[in-house]
C-alpha cells in the first residue's frame, strides 16, 4: 500500500489527486497497487491497456487522471 498516492471518489469512479508518477512506476513494476481511500477503505488500482481501473468489492471502476 502506498501512502504517496491520493485518490478520492468522484461520481461513478475515482480521481487521482496526487502521486501520478509514483502510481505509474509501481504499476510498471507489479501491475497492481493497493491504495487507502478516505471513507472507502482499501482499493486496488490495475492498469488495463492504456487505462487505469479501480477494483473494489468485485467492481471495476474508472480512475480519472486529469
pLDDT for residue 60: 94
* Contacts for 6 with CB less than 8 Å, ≥ 6 apart: 16, 17, 18, 19
Question: What pLDDT sits at residue 50?
Answer: 80
Q: What is the pLDDT of residues 2-43, one digit of tens each?
A: 678 999 999 999 999 999 999 999 999 998 999 999 888 999
CA distance 37 to 49: 23
Of the pLDDT bands very low, low, confident and very high (cuts 50, 70, 90), residue 1 is: low
pLDDT of res. 2:
65
State pTM to two decimals.
0.84
Which residue carries 471518489 as its cell?
9
Task: Kindly list the domain boundaries of the chain, sorted by start residue.
Answer: 6-64
- What is the mean predicted confidence (pLDDT) over 41-62? 91
Amino acid at each position: 500500500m502506498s501512502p504517496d498516492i491520493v485518490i478520492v471518489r468522484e461520481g461513478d469512479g475515482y480521481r487521482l489527486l496526487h502521486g501520478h508518477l509514483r502510481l505509474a512506476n509501481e504499476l510498471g513494476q507489479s501491475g497492481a497497487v493497493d491504495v487507502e481511500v478516505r471513507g472507502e477503505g482499501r482499493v486496488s488500482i490495475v492498469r488495463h491497456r492504456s487505462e487505469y481501473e479501480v477494483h473494489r468489492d468485485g467492481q471495476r471502476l474508472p480512475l480519472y487522471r486529469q
